[in-house]
Each structure stands twice: as structure tokens, then as C-alpha cells.
Amino acid sequence: MKLVSRTKTIVAIAAMAAVAIAAAPAGAGLCIVPDNGSGTADLPPNCTEGYLSPDDVHLIIDGLPAGTTIELDASHNEFFVRQGGPGGNLGGEFEIFDSFLQIQLTGTGLLAGFNRTLGMQALTETHIGPRNPGDPVQDFDTEMVALQGAIFGDPDFDELRITAGSANGLPSPGHTTLTRLPSGDFHVDSFFDITYQIDFQGAPGGALGGLGGSTTGTLRMQAGEPFPEPSALLMLAATASAALVRRGRRARSI
């Protein structure tokens, strides 16, 4: 009975390990994109959430009263490539594309209670390092070369402008890893360490009337999440399978 029980346990562990390896890339925050037909994925990755800053927020500080900030929680998505191909600063490819910034603004200090949601069209350029289409894991450096978006004539902002990218003197390096899934799609883990500049001029009569300034900061924008490390699961499955074989041999010899 003990042998049967242990055998069932080992089988269960091996099965769970195999299932975990196959099903690991599933859940909130993941970025899954299709093979573009050449053994790799189109970039930038058009996953649902786009690039987010999960651990930090953009800030407007300059031009506001002491102890007062405006926090900008932004998502960057809806990429539409205008131009791209071989080249760029990293010896791989470049992409120039339209994109969309969804921004949640929250005031602190004297602006506590200020809360707005704004959308901003942007023009963006990224460069990526060489990759090998067809490889199951494609790992390469990336760079945000330029990002520029602005709105004008808002009730609170005569102008709100966001700028980033090395071409604008705002270094924004990054990295991307594409991992092929059993489905043939790719799991995306991509980030940029963005140096940004936010310029604003408050609109007369609005909450920011008479205020204006330029703030520079740095944060990480992330698309997807790291692929679950398979080595531990593979080791578990291999160990369980080997143990099952050994116990099976012992059982037959009894």
C-alpha cells in the first residue's frame, strides 16, 4: 500500500510539474503576442496592457507649491508602426510608431482632491539589438530613442507635454526577452528605464492656473513579466520521473 501511495504521489508531482511548465505563462499582467510568420514577434508588442510603471509614478514637482505634487500613473499602448526595418543604434532594427498614453493624474498637498484622467497621442521611436528569429528564446537590448506627446487647451492645462528618449537627451535603455510557448505564440518580458521630462502650463481659471514648470525623473516602464524560471520545474519533473522508474524496478524485483 505504501508503495502504491508513494508511486501515486510521484506521478502527481511529475504531472503537476509538467502542467506548471506548460501553463506557467497565464494570468494577469502577461503579454502574449503571435508569431509574425518569421519565427519572431513584431515589436513594439501590442499586448492588452501595454507598458506600465507598476512600481512608481511620473511626477510633476517643479512649478508647484512646496510639498505639493501631481502623480501621473501612465500606460503606454495602442502601437501603430509607421516605419521600421534594419538599423538603429543597437545594430538590429528600429521602429517609429504612433502610440497612446492613458494618464491618471492625482494631486497631493495643496492639490489634494485634484483627480483627472487624460489621453494623449504620442510619436515614439525605439531601437532593438540583434535577435535570431526561430530561436525559442530571443534576448536583446532595447532603447527608447524618442517619445513626444502633448495636449493643449485642456480646462486645467494650457499645455501638458511628456518627452523621453536618448535623442532628446533623456537616456532610456531597456531589454526584451521573447520566449516561445507551446502554442507558437511568444511570451514577452520587456522594459525601458525611462528618463522623462514633463512640462506644463496651467490654464487660467483651472486648478493649475498661474502655475507652470518642467520636471525630470526616471522610472521603469514594463510590458509583461519575467517568464517563470523553468529549471526548478524541470528538475522536479526529472527527479520525480527518475524516482518513479526506480521504484517501479524495485516493485518488479520483489
Residue 66 CB neighbours (<10 A): 7
- Is residue 32 within 8 Å of residue 182, measured between CB atoms? no
Per-residue pLDDT of the chain (254 residues; tens, 9 = 90+): 444 444 444 444 434 433 443 444 433 378 999 999 999 999 999 988 899 988 888 999 999 999 999 999 999 999 999 999 999 999 999 999 999 999 999 999 999 999 999 999 999 999 999 999 999 999 999 999 999 999 999 999 999 999 999 999 999 999 999 999 999 999 999 999 999 999 999 999 999 999 999 999 999 999 998 887 654 444 444 444 554 445 455 445 44
151 strand-pairing partners: 160
Residue 191 CA to residue 55 CA, distance in Å, equals: 12
DSSP one-letter code for 167 = G
End-to-end CA distance of the chain: 14
Note the pTM of the prediction, 2 decimals.
0.78
